[in-house]
Amino acid sequence: MSALPLIPVTIITGFLGAGKTTLLKRVLTEAHGQKIAVIENEFGEEAIDNEILVSDDSEQIIQMSNGCVCCTIRDDLRAALSTLAEKRRSGALQFDRVMIETTGVADPGPVAQTFFMDDDVAEQYMLDAIITLVDAKHAMQQLDTRLEAQRQIGFADQIFISKAELVQPAELAALQQRISRINPRAKQKMVHFGEVPLTEVLDVRGFNLSAQLDLEPPQPANASAQPHQHDSCGCPHDHAQQHAHAQSCNKHDHSQCSHEHAHEHEHNHNASCEQHHVQDDDVKSFVFRANRPFDPAKLEDFLGAIVRIYGTKMYRYKGVLDMQGTDRKVIFQGVHELMGSDLGPKWSEHEPRISKMVFIGVELPREILEQGLRQCLI
């Protein structure tokens, strides 16, 4: 008897009122022909169980009228996943995929790690993506005061911004730029009452190695001011004195400033700059690029050591690498201490063989990473 295919899982996270349950309800009621098992935390802001539920039972597994399943958990996500998988194997339940709605204050990291660290779960489920809902009206305050809000953005593969109509265009642009500084890889999209294409929620393949080839930061919907994102490259020159702030600082000339500019951009501009430019979030990101190939052995040793020491601070990291000894791209990514890699497609004949890596985390040892990565180049 052949093994059943892995069950794709989508994690939906976001603070209170951002629209997680609204999005879930929309997905569950769409005519997509799939049966979805929803795992809700018991502290969810709003239950799904209104008119689409059929019955309840002592196991907190509820069959919905459209064939979907809702499972409420209190403590053990692993146990809930195992129970659902067992019922699916026995024929007691039928579902094609799982969606997990976390509480507003949840850190998605431990939830994501469950799908890699637990062998039983990994043999049955495949984490597809982390979707984060952001409330445009309250996001700036939440990002200022709650590290969990920054983590939810840092872990995201797709970010949906709700209530954009309640803020001014300049406020929305500032929020988008702040989000891009935390997570330059996640796509951003405005969403109105959960109205999003299912293709942007399901089968996103955020954790599929072969699917992650493009590391260019997404452009905000309002592109009048670009995200203030600086890349590091494998070149020996120093970028710290070379970046220009003209676009997002009203053509503010730094040659007239007396303050020193750090590479992480933690300086405090005067009143001529946008307010968002002063924000110094705990969760940050940076991109490393190199136009020389990596030595595979050196890179493996270096990344292994970095992950062992700093893995708890590294939320998401991924890259497309040019490795010595192969004409194919090497795709790698990781969550905390868990890292994997695989061979991707061949470099095309006229394609620049440029390695790109993005790191997202808290208190990242950026200088150590950059120096170590440069030392791994041929």
The range of the structural domain enclosing residue 127 comes to 7-208
The tens digit of pLDDT for each residue in 18-57 reads 888 888 888 888 777 888 888 876 444 455 544 443 334 4
Residue 60 CA to residue 55 CA, distance in Å, equals: 10
Looking at the domain assignment, is residue 341 inside a domain?
A: yes
Q: What's the pLDDT score for residue 73?
A: 62
**For the chain, what is the domain count?**
2
Write down the pTM of the prediction: 0.74
Say if residue 107 is in the same domain as residue 196. yes
Say if residue 198 is in the same domain as residue 287. no
Say if residue 183 is in the same domain as residue 295. no
The tens digit of pLDDT for each residue in 268-300 reads 433 334 444 446 789 999 999 999 999 999 999
Looking at the domain assignment, is residue 278 inside a domain?
A: no
User: Which CATH number characterizes residue 289's domain?
Assistant: 3.30.1220.10
User: Which CATH number characterizes residue 106's domain?
Assistant: 3.40.50.300
Q: What's the pLDDT score for residue 266?
A: 38
- Is the separation of the CB atoms in 183 and 360 below 8 Å? yes
- Which of 152, 174, 208 is where one domain is finished? 208
Say if residue 183 is in the same domain as residue 320. no
Closest CA to 8 of 43, 51, 37: 37
Say if residue 96 is in the same domain as residue 202. yes
Say if residue 23 is in the same domain as residue 160. yes
Looking at the domain assignment, is residue 342 inside a domain?
A: yes
- Which of 208, 231, 258 is where one domain is finished? 208
Average pLDDT over residues 52-78: 59
Contacts of residue 212, Cβ cutoff 8 Å, sequence gap at least 6? 205, 206, 318, 320, 331, 333
- Is the separation of the CB atoms in 180 and 229 below 8 Å? yes
Q: What's the pLDDT score for residue 64?
A: 60
Confidence bin at 233 (pLDDT 50/70/90):
low
Looking at the domain assignment, is residue 102 inside a domain?
A: yes
- Which of 156, 175, 208 is where one domain is finished? 208
Looking at the domain assignment, is residue 141 inside a domain?
A: yes
Say if residue 50 is in the same domain as residue 171. yes
For the chain, what's the residue count?
A: 378
Closest CA to 70 of 90, 88, 52: 52
Q: What's the pLDDT score for residue 246?
A: 35
Q: What's the pLDDT score for residue 279?
A: 65
